[in-house]
Structure 1
Amino acid sequence: MILLTSSKLPTVGMTIFSQMSQLAMQHNAINLSQGFPDFMPDAQLLNSVDHFIQKGFNQYAPLGGILSLKEEVAIKIENSHQAIYHPDAEITITAGGTQAIFTTLATFISKGDEVIIFEPAYDCYEPSVELFGGIVKRFQMKAPNYEIDWSEVKNLVSEKTKMIILNNPNNPSGKILTENDVQSLIQIVKDSNILILSDEVYENIVFDGKKHLSLCQYLELKERTMIVASFGKLFHITGWKVGYCAAPKEMMAEFRKVHQFNVFCVNTPIQMALAEYMKDEEHYLHLNSFFQEKRDFLRQGLASTSFELLSCEGTYFQAVTYQNISGKDDFEFAKDLTINHKVASVPFSAFYKDHLNENVIRLCFAKKQETLERAIENLAKL
C-alpha cells in the first residue's frame, strides 16, 4: 500500500452539501440542504434526449460544443443582456458550471497570483485557486444585508491581483448586484489587467421585478470577464451537469486549451436536445415567477415561526436566522434540526473560511409543494 505523505488540499474534506444530504438520508429528514429540485423536468425535454439517443447522436461532440446549442445560447445572451458573443469562438459548452469555474482558474491562475472572492462563497472557488498556487483574498459580506463595501475591496487589490470572482445572484445569501456595485467594480478594474470570473448560474431566478445585471452588459467588464452559467439551474436538470461559459475569443481560446484535457467535450444527445428545447424561449423566460411562488410560499409559512427571514432577491435559497430559537452555533443547530426535527439545511458558516457564525442557515425551496408544506409544518414546531 502506498503511503501518501502530503495532500494538495490538506484542509478539504466532504462538502457541506454532501454532509447534510447524507445526514438527511440517515435520519429520513426533508432535504432542503443541497440545491436541487425534487420535481421532474419538462417531459418535452426528456423525450427530446431519448429522440436524439435513438437517432444515433451518441458519439463525441465537438470540443467547444455543438454549434446549434451555442447559437441558441448566443441568442439568449443577446436577448437578455444585449451582449454579442460569436457562437463558435466565444461560447463553450461545459460539464456543468463547476467545471467551467475550475477550468477558468486552471487556465489563468498561476503560483502567487492573488484572487479576490466574496464570502459567503460557493465552496469550489478557494480550493480550485489553491490547487494552481493562487492566493485567496476575501471580503466578508455579513448578515443581514450582505452588502459590499467597495472601498474595502479596493484595499485588497495589489499588483499581484489576477482575478476577481463574483457570484451574482449570490449563493447562499440571495443577494444581487446593484448598478452602484457594478460601477464600483468598473472603477476598481479600470486601467488594470485584472480578470473577472462571473458565476451567474442563477441569472434567471431573480425576484420582485428586479433585474439581473450580467457583467457582459458592460463593455468595460465584458472584455475581461468569463461568464459562467448553468442549464441545470435553467431547466431543473442539475444531475445532467451541463453548463456553458462565454468570453472574448482570446480568453476562450486559452480556456479551450485546458478544457480539451479536462473533459474534452460534453455528452452529445443532451446538447442536441437542449438546442432544440431552447428554440422556444418560453421554456425559460418565466423561471423567476415560477420560483418566486415557491419562495413566497416558504416565506409565508415561516412568517409566524420563531425564525427570522432575511432578504431573498434571487437564487432558490432562503436564508433565515434562528437566534430566537437556539444559542447553538449554526453547524450544531443544522445537525439538530436534521436529526430531531427532520429538516436538513446548510449552515452559513460553511461558506466562510473562518467559519463565521451569525446564526444563519440556508433552506432550498426548489421543491414540490408537498415537500415545502411538510418542511414548514416541522419548522413551525420549533
Structure 2
Amino acid sequence: MPATSRRLQAFTESVIRAMTRLSNQHGAINLSQGFPDFNPPEEILAALERATRGPFHQYAVTWGAPRFRQALAKKITHFSGTPVDPDQNLVVTCGSTEAMMCAMMTCCEPGDKVIVFSPFYENYAADAILSGAEPIYVPLRPPHFGFDPDELARAFAQGAKAIIVCNPSNPTGKVFTRAELQTILDLAEKHDAFVITDEPYEHIVYAPHEHVYMHTLPGAADRVIVCNSLSKTYSITGWRLGYVQAAPHIIAQARKVHDFLTVGAAAPLQEAAVAGLELPDSYYHGLRDLYTAKRDVFLNHLRATGLPFTEPHGAYYVLMDISSLGFPTDTEAAEWFVKEVGVAGVPGSSFFREPEHRFIRFHYAKQVETLNAAGEKLLRVKQGR
C-alpha cells in the first residue's frame, strides 16, 4: 500500500476548525473560528443580488476580474498612499489562505528557510512545510508580544529566504509599530530576504494604535509581498476573496502559481464585492468604532471572570490565561469550556511553537447580544471545575 506524503505528518488538521465542529456538536457559543454572526453591509448584499442576474457566471480573468482589480487598486492606493496598478501589482485569490500559499510558493524553493513569529496563525507553519520550506521560529513574548531584534537577526543569519509578518496579529492582537517593521525590513534587506505580510485586519485597529502598511516603507517595494482579504473588513468570510500585492516581477510569477492552484476566484462575488471596495471613508471609521465597542463589551465580561487576559490593539482576538484553573493542558481546558461552560475557544498551544499551555483564544466578532450571552456563561469559570 503506497504511503502518503511525509510532509503531512509534520502538522495536524486545523485546530480552529476542529473547535468549531466541537462547538456545533455541543451547542456552545462559537468564539473559536473568527467569523461574524451579522450580515455584510447592505450595499454589498444589494450588489450580490444584481450580480446573480448579470453575466458573471463563467470564469473571470484568472488573476482577477478587471473591475474588481481596478476598485481594489484604488482602495489600496487611497489608504496606503502608494500607487497600486491593477494590472501589474495584483493577483486575486480564493481568500488570504490561498494568497499566503501562493506567496510562499512564489518566493521559496524546497529546502529554503522561512521565519515565523510565535505565536502565529496556524496556517503559516503548514504553508511553509507544504512549500518544502523549513520554518524558523522567533518568539513574540507576552504580555506585549514584542520581539528581540538580536534573536531575529540570528534567525535571518541562518539563511532565511523570507519572513511572515501578521499585522495586526492573529492570535495576539498585536499591532506592529513603524519602528518594529523598519527593523524587520532592514534585516530582510541585509540578508536579501522577502517579507510576506498578512493584513486582513488592517481596518480593525484601536486608538491610539495605527496600521502601518509595510510595503510603503522606503526600500520595501521589491521585497514585500502583501497577502490580504476582504473577509474581515466587509464581514464576508465565506466569499473567499483575497489577493496578493507585490512588485510586477513578483506578481508575474505569483500569477502562475495561482493559475494552477485554483484558476480563479468566484466571478459573481468579485462583481458584488466592488460595492464594498467603493464604500466611503465613513464606513471604515464606523467599522473601527463597531469593533472598539465590541472589544469593550467582551473585555468587561472577561474582567468579571477574574482571569487575566491580553488586551488587543488590533484584530478581534483575546488570549485568556487559564493556568489558574488547574488543567493539565489548554486543550483539556478548551474542551471543558465547550462542554461545561458553553463557550468555544481555541487552545493557545496551536499558535505557539514553545510548550505554552496557559492560553485560550476567544474572538468577539459577534453581535453584542451574543457577547453578552457568552459573558454570562463565562462567569461559570468562577465556580471552578
TM-score in terms of structure 1 length:
0.95
Aligned to 1:375: 374
Following TM superposition, by how much is the alpha carbon of 1:105 offset from its aligned partner in structure 2, in angstroms? 1.0
Aligned to 1:345: 345
Q: 3-state DSSP class of the match of 1:176?
A: coil
* 2:255 matches 1:291: no
Q: 1:5 to 1:103 in 2, by over 3 A?
A: closer
Extract structure 1 runs of 4+ deviating beyond 6 A. none
* 2:234–2:276 contact (8 Å) kept in structure 1: no
Q: 3-state DSSP class of the match of 1:265?
A: coil
Residue type at the aligned position of 2:6: S
Q: 3-state DSSP class of the match of 1:127?
A: helix
* 2:111 matches 1:112: yes
Query: Which range moved further: 57-66 or 40-49?
Result: 40-49
* 2:314 matches 1:310: no
* 2:116–2:137 contact (8 Å) kept in structure 1: yes
Aligned to 2:169: 170
Aligned pairs for 1:7-156 (under 5 A) are 7-156=6-155
Q: 3-state DSSP class of the match of 2:173?
A: coil
* 2:168–2:174 contact (8 Å) kept in structure 1: yes
* 2:250 matches 1:261: no
Structure 1 vs Structure 2: percent identity of aligned residues? 30
Cα distance in structure 1, aligned partners of 2:354 and 2:258: 32
TM-score in terms of structure 2 length:
0.94
Cα distance in structure 1, aligned partners of 2:158 and 2:374: 49
Cα distance in structure 1, aligned partners of 2:373 and 2:192: 51
Deviations 1:273-293 (A, max 9, x none): 111332222443432211111
Size of the aligned set, in residue pairs, is 380
Query: Which range moved further: 228-237 or 38-47?
Result: 38-47
RMSD: 1.6
Unaligned stretches of 5+ residues in structure 1: none
Cα distance in structure 2, aligned partners of 1:277 and 1:19: 31
Following TM superposition, by how much is the alpha carbon of 1:159 offset from its aligned partner in structure 2, in angstroms? 6.0
Cα distance in structure 2, aligned partners of 1:213 and 1:46: 30
Following TM superposition, by how much is the alpha carbon of 1:65 offset from its aligned partner in structure 2, in angstroms? 0.8
Cα distance in structure 1, aligned partners of 2:36 and 2:295: 13
Aligned pairs for 1:324-363 (under 5 A) are 324-357=324-357, 359-363=358-362
Residue type at the aligned position of 2:150: S
* 1:306–1:322 contact (8 Å) kept in structure 2: no
* 1:169–1:315 contact (8 Å) kept in structure 2: yes
* 1:307–1:325 contact (8 Å) kept in structure 2: no
Cα distance in structure 2, aligned partners of 1:78 and 1:69: 14
Following TM superposition, by how much is the alpha carbon of 1:14 offset from its aligned partner in structure 2, in angstroms? 2.2
Following TM superposition, by how much is the alpha carbon of 1:304 offset from its aligned partner in structure 2, in angstroms? 2.3
Aligned to 1:273: 272
Q: 1:284 to 1:59 in 2, by over 3 A?
A: farther
Following TM superposition, by how much is the alpha carbon of 1:350 offset from its aligned partner in structure 2, in angstroms? 0.6
Following TM superposition, by how much is the alpha carbon of 1:223 offset from its aligned partner in structure 2, in angstroms? 2.0
Deviations 1:177-211 (A, max 9, x none): 01220221132123442011000111111012311
Query: Which range moved further: 88-97 or 123-132?
Result: 123-132
Q: 3-state DSSP class of the match of 2:219?
A: helix
Q: 3-state DSSP class of the match of 1:220?
A: coil
Following TM superposition, by how much is the alpha carbon of 1:82 offset from its aligned partner in structure 2, in angstroms? 1.1
Cα distance in structure 1, aligned partners of 2:141 and 2:360: 13
* 2:322 matches 1:322: yes
Following TM superposition, by how much is the alpha carbon of 1:42 offset from its aligned partner in structure 2, in angstroms? 2.1
Residue type at the aligned position of 1:336: W
* 2:215–2:221 contact (8 Å) kept in structure 1: yes
* 1:30–1:375 contact (8 Å) kept in structure 2: yes
Cα distance in structure 1, aligned partners of 2:141 and 2:164: 17
Residue type at the aligned position of 1:286: G
Q: 3-state DSSP class of the match of 1:328?
A: coil
